[in-house]
Amino acid sequence: MLIRIFSLVFIVFFFYSCQKEISYIVKEDSKKELIEKGQKAVAIAFTSLSTQLKDEIANSGFDGAISFCKVEAPKILYDASTKAMANIHRVTDKPRNPKSLANEKEMEIINNYISLQKTSSKMEATLIADKSKVTFYSPIKILPLCMNCHGSVNKEVSESTKEILNQLYPEDKALNYNIDDLRGLWKIEFSSAEEHIEQVKD
């Protein structure tokens, strides 16, 4: 009886150990295709966001653009996701909207890009796979126009802009950037991507 119990415990332990050892990677011959798809999705989203944002700035100034971003940006990304046939998000280590906070793995990717940037190394796209999904990540950098809402208060960011930010984003951490700083990541999710994924054992 005791032997059976020990045998059962061993089998259960072995089963869960094996489960933990399995991980997933993107197939080598799928990387180019998925990177191109990710870059295309980013281009669709960026073009739509920047075009509509510039129009709003021209009509309402930077103060009006903040409200526009809060309300309209999610809708724009949803429409871009439909066009790109992927789920498009933006994540960051310094969120304006807490929902945009990067998870632990994404924080690692951000920190890696920051390290590459410090050495003037090229920041290539990153592909992460799980059982049925591939996620494409690429860096988002601060552009000159971004400084009006992400720069330093009373320098690039006006006092009135800061007041609106305080009202709409009381937990805002997305200030004091410089041009070309890493703002965060484009996150493009390709679901039902099993054909591009293979299992490996750690």
Q: Which of 152, 201, 189 is nearest to 38 (CA)?
A: 189
Instruction: Give percent above pLDDT 90 in the chain.
Output: 88
Of 46-60, 172-186, 188-202, the one with minimum mean pLDDT is 188-202
Q: Which two tokens stand for residue 179?
A: 């041009």
What is the predicted pLDDT for the residue at 14?
44
**To the nearest whole number, what is the mean pLDDT of the chain?**
91
Map out the domains of the chain as residue ranges: 25-195
What is the predicted pLDDT for the residue at 3?
52
Amino acid at site 199: Q
pLDDT score of 1 more than 80: no
pLDDT digits (tens, 9 = 90+) for 19-73: 557 899 999 999 999 999 999 999 999 999 999 999 999 999 999 999 999 999 9
Q: What are phi and psi of 131, to 5 degrees?
A: -60, -40
Q: What's the burial of 145, exposed, middle or buried (CB within 10 Å: 0-12/13-18/19+)?
A: middle
- Mean pLDDT across 141-159: 96
Of 79-83, 120-124, 186-190, the one with minimum mean pLDDT is 120-124
Task: Give me the DSSP letters along 2-56.
Answer: HHHHHHHHHHHHHHHHHHHHEEEEE-GGGHHHHHHHHHHHHHHHHHHHHHHHHHH
pLDDT digits (tens, 9 = 90+) for 63-112: 999 999 999 999 999 999 999 999 999 999 999 999 999 999 999 999 99
